[in-house]
Amino acid sequence: MYDEDEGETSQMLPKGIFQIQKGHLVVYVGDDCKRFVIKVGTLSHPLFQALLEHAEEVFGFSNGSKLHIPCSENIFLHVLHNAGDLAQDRRLVHCF
């Protein structure tokens, strides 16, 4: 798990289970399904909407309960930066 400080957006529970704080969600990115915790408000940003539309084209709506974004980690981080998440506070994006 990657955490820059104790102001985490996720907390580890027993047996490797993570509890996500209110206002955040888990997104899986790329072929390796790298796990990121992002702010829910990011979903409404136009760049992130484009990623969601691409995910719908690739997976449809039958991808189970996981939100999987089919792009590279670099593109995903670029979108988050432009959406304001990374620019405002780098500790709000965690991957593990």
Query: What is the distance between the alpha carbons of residues 40 and 23, in angstroms, rounded to a whole number?
Result: 5
**Do residues 75 and 44 lie in contact, with contact meaning Cβ atoms separated by under 8 Å?**
no
Question: What's the DSSP call for residue 67?
Answer: -
Q: Where are the domains of the chain?
A: 1-41+66-71
pLDDT in tens, 2-35: 333 334 455 544 555 667 889 999 999 999 999 9
Q: Residue 6: its pLDDT value, please?
A: 36
Distance CA 85, CA 62 (A): 28
Share of the chain above pLDDT 90, in %: 31
**Rounded Cα distance, 17 and 27, in Å:** 16
